[in-house]
Amino acid sequence: MSGPGKEKGRVLGSTESVCPVCLRRLPAERRQQGEEVLLCRQCPEHGFFAPVIWRGVPDLPGWQRPKTPASPQLAYTRMAQGCPFDCGLCPRHGQHTCTALIEITSRCNLHCPVCFASADEQGTDLSLAQAAFLYDRIAAASGPCNIQLSGGEPTLHSELTAIIRLGRDKGFSFIQLNTNGLRLAESAAYAKILQEAGLSSVFLQFDGCSAKSHQALRGRDLGHIKEEAIRHCAAAGLGVVLVPTLLPGANLDELWQIITYGLSHAPTVRGVHFQPISYFGRFPQSAQPEQSGRPRLSLPELLQLLELQSSGVLRSEHFSPPACEHAFCSFHANYLITEEGSLMPLGAGQSVCCSTGETPLQPFPALEGREKSVSFTARQWRAPAAPVDAADNGDDFDRFLARARSHRFSISAMFFQDAWTLDLERLRGCCIHVAAPDGRLIPFCAYNLCNASGTALYRGKISV
């Protein structure tokens, strides 16, 4: 990594990355320059790359934590070309599957300017037999982890209820739907049918509270549609998580508004899960940081924005790194919405594994058998377990526990990696895996990885 200007800064650690042009694997360094950390590497053909991956406080070394690798129970591929070209998972992978994504259709009823799946009206649906095959592959490799049904837009699949039922029959106790909400907004009965089929939770695309945010990310104002979708989920007893994609210049000014909107729809809305944009799939070229000069939003910057916009109600110290995926991938905090409507942080500074961990405050009853596999995430994101006033006749502590069961609210974020920011140490710690059509389990950020011209490494390259 020699050359003018390329040795600046303090080396915080070594890792591997790829060239964003040709995707070849390269040795890389995380270098601190002022308040920024850059992921530096040199492609012999395409030059030097050093995108900012971290900016501000908490600083990266302080957020980092040691991670004990947890290998997959069953590796479907062998090590041949090295990471990230052997995904399947290969035996070198360092984390088991917490959430497996199944893309049940490539069709969609929106044409968002931003879409990692590049979905359109035309496309194909997964058959029930293919869904059964993928469930079996996931179960064999990972046990009964969380399932997310995704797309495209999964509600376009005419056999969605059968796919949900099949998953439940195969032992998956938490099934979540990743949706734009259009179909749910159309019909309360449809939401109920999904709930009765065994759906646990809705991961609802929700980019802001203004028409301009919806326009920027989805091409039309969807505010009323989201409201209707949430109303129908509430009537059906489905928990909802609001999932904003964050695009600098479009909706970063609405973080606290999104949270207060979620709070006003609690306990149906269980939390907000932010996803700062990463550059894979379909996105406007003008939004690409390397072309527009728009910076990516790094983890500490989002924490600072949350603190600022909430006027200190949310504070960085309420948020913890994950104990499951790599520390640089995400943050989370859990709050209790008090009877007065304020937010009380729960378990600040503690790590929670999305698969097995518990928060210090543990208002959930002991679980037996198959239910033991229901994750912390699953328990938080499904509909509240008990009616709000269940402990009306109990003492203060009973009332507190009942409230904590129904009115816990999570705020979290995941910082997906693209070809510019890909850190292979992070990727090897990934616990969110796409079940590819041939039954391989591929870390989400590898599955969606594409080079600067949009050519994918895995997506669209794998047939049955």
Select from 446, 450, 452, 457 the one that contacts ligand SF4 (CB under 6 A).
446
Nearer of residues 45 and 396 to Zn ion, judged by Cβ: 45
Select from 52, 102, 104, 117 the one that contacts ligand SF4 (CB under 6 A).
117
457 is an interface residue for ligand SF4 by CB under 6 A? no
CB of 424 to Zn ion, least distance (A): 15
Distance of CA 344 to the CA centre of its chain: 24
Q: Mask of contacts with ligand SF4, 296-335, x by CB under 6 A?
A: -----------------------------xx--x------
- What part of residues 42-101 is at the interface with Zn ion (CB under 5 A)? 43, 45-46
Kindly write down the DSSP assignment for every residue of 416-463, as one continuous string.
Answer: ---TTT--HHHHHT--EEEE-TTS-EEEHHHHT-B-TT--BSSTTT--
Determine the interface stretch with ligand SF4 among 79-87, 296-304, 384-392, 401-409 (rule: CB under 6 A): 79-87
Do 78 and 57 meet the contact criterion of CB atoms below 8 Å apart?
Answer: no
- What part of residues 175-194 is at the interface with ligand SF4 (CB under 6 A)? 180
Rounded distance between C-alpha atoms, residue 449 and residue 423, angstroms: 12
Residue 9, CA distances (Å) to 12, 19, 29, 35, 281 in order: 9, 21, 11, 10, 33
208 is an interface residue for ligand SF4 by CB under 6 A? no
User: What does residue 242 show for φ and ψ, rounded to 5 degrees?
Assistant: -80, 130
| 437 exposure class (CB count in 10 Å sphere: 0-12, 13-18, 19+) | middle
Distance of CA 54 to the CA centre of its chain: 19
Radius of gyration in angstroms for the set of CA atoms belonging to the chain, rounded to a whole number? 21
380 closest CA partner among 407, 341, 360, 361: 407
Partner in contact with 119, chosen from Zn ion, ligand SF4, none, beta carbon below 5 to 8 Å by kind: ligand SF4
CB of 63 to ligand SF4, least distance (A): 14
Nearer of residues 174 and 256 to ligand SF4, judged by Cβ: 174
Structure tokens, 290: 């390397």
Nearer of residues 175 and 222 to ligand SF4, judged by Cβ: 222
Determine the interface stretch with ligand SF4 among 231-239, 251-259, 392-400, 439-447 (rule: CB under 6 A): 439-447
Chain contacts with Zn ion (rule: CB under 5 A): 19, 21-22, 43, 45-46
